Amino acid sequence: MFSEVTARLLTDRLLHNLRTLRALIGPQTRLCAALKANAYGHGMSLVAPILQKGGADMAAVAQLDEAIELRRIGWTRPILVFGHVLGGLESAKRRERIDTALGHQLILTVTEDGDLLRDIDAAARSAGRPLSVHLKIDTGMGRMGFTPDEGLDALREAATMRGLRICGVYSHLATADEANDEHVRRQLSRFDAFLASAAPLLPEGALRHVANTAAALRFPEARLDLVRIGLGLYGYHPSEVTRPLADLRPALRVTSRVTEMKWLPTGHCIGYGCTVWTQRRTRIGIVPVGYGDGYWRALSNHAIVGMSQGDAPVVGRISMDQMAIDLTDLPDAAAGDSVVLLDETRSRPNSVESTAKLLSAIPYEVTCSLGSRIARSADAAVSARVEPQIALAAGVI
C-alpha cells in the first residue's frame, strides 16, 4: 500500500488502558469493548485481536457489516449490535438480516415490540435456533428504546416465544460526562426501578448494563454486570470531569512526510482563497494530507504539526489532498522528513485532544474522521487472528 499518511496504533498503551479500566471496574463486572466506526478510527483489524488476547469479554458495534467484519478478522466472543438494524425494513429484508445475525452468532438490540418480536421469533424458529437479543430501555436519553412500561410488556411477550433469547437489558446515559449529575441520577433511578419490576421476567444470567466510559469511571453503582467502554480504551477522557479518575494514555500517532519544499517571496498567497499572504520570504513544505484523509479543512491556519526539528504551523487552506506548513524557522527541515499530524502526548498542540479543542469538537470526531486512505499499523507484531482465551458460548452473554 502506497499511502501518504500512516496511523500507528500504540499497542502498549491500548493494553495499559484495558488493564487500567479492568482494575477499576473489578472482577465481577464484564468489559464490553466498543469497536464501532473502525474502532473509533484506530483500525478494527488491529485493535480487536489485541483486546481479545488482553481479555475483553465482549465487543459492541453499531451495524451488521461491522459485526460481520469483526467475525471475519477472528473475534470469537459475543458481539452486541447497538443499532436498531431491523427497524424500518420490509419483511424479506428483515428476515435476511435476522438470518445473518443467526449465522454469525450476533446479539441484536431490540427497541420495539409487536411485529418485530414476532418476525424474530418466526425466523429463528424456522432456522432451528434462537436469536440472542438485548432489550434497550429509554430512561431519559430520548433516542432508541422502550419506555420502561413497554419494556416490561416486551419481556412478557418474549417469554412466550421460543425463537428469542433475552440475554440482556440496557439503557444509555445522556450526561455521564458532565459535572452536573442530576440527570444521570434520574436515569439510574429509573433503570433501577425497571430492573426491580423486570426481575421475575428476566432469564437467569441476563446481563444488566447502563455504563459507558464516563459512567464506568464516575459512578460505581452504574457498573452492574457489564460496562461498555469505547473512548477510554483508546486513551481519551470523555471530558475534563473524568480526567482525575484514571490514567488513560492516547494510543494513536498519525504521521505523513514533507514531499516538496519551496521558497515564496514576500506578498505571495498560499492555498485556495488566498487566506494568508507571506509577510516575509517564506519557506513552505508540502504535506500530502488533507480533508480527504480526515484532516479537517477547519484546521487551516490554526493547526500545528510536529517535526524532529520543531513545530511548524499549517498555513493556507487545507485542501482535499495537500496542505502547506511554514518551515522558515526550521532551516534543517528537508523533503522526506516525517510530520506528526496527531501526537500521542496529550500536552502537545497537535494531540487528539488539542486538535479537538481547535475544532470546537470532541476527541471522538477527530479519530473517527480518519479516512480509508490512511494506512493503519500497530507498533508491535500482532497477528490478525489470535487464539481465544475463552470460547464463544452462543447465547450465554
26: amino acid identity, one letter: G
Question: Quick one: which of 255, 381, 271 has its CA closest to 322?
Answer: 271
DSSP reduced 3-state for 28: coil
Q: What is the DSSP string of 341-364?
A: EEBS-TTSTTBHHHHHHHTT--HH
Distance between CA atoms of residues 313 and 316, nearest Å: 10
As beta bridge partners, residue 254 has: 7, 342
Question: Quick one: which of 284, 389, 374 has its CA closest to 42?
Answer: 374
Distance between CA atoms of residues 48 and 388, nearest Å: 11
**Residue 109 contacts residue 67 (beta carbons within 8 Å):** no
Residue 194 CA, chain-centre distance (Å), reads 28
Question: Quick one: which of 224, 210, 54 has its CA closest to 138?
Answer: 210
DSSP reduced 3-state for 92: helix
Positions annotated as catalytic residues are 36, 272
Distance between CA atoms of residues 130 and 125, nearest Å: 7
**Residue 61 contacts residue 86 (beta carbons within 8 Å):** no
Helix, strand, coil share (%) of the chain residues, nearest 5: 35, 20, 45
**Residue 395 contacts residue 58 (beta carbons within 8 Å):** no
Contacts within 8 Å (CB) and 24+ apart, 195-198: 195/169, 197/148, 197/152, 198/151, 198/152, 198/155, 198/169
What grid cell was written down for 76?
470469537
| Polymer length in residues for the chain | 397
Element (H or E) spanning 214, and its range? helix 213-218
**Residue 382 contacts residue 50 (beta carbons within 8 Å):** yes
Give every CB contact of residue 92 below 8 A, 6+ residues apart in sequence: none
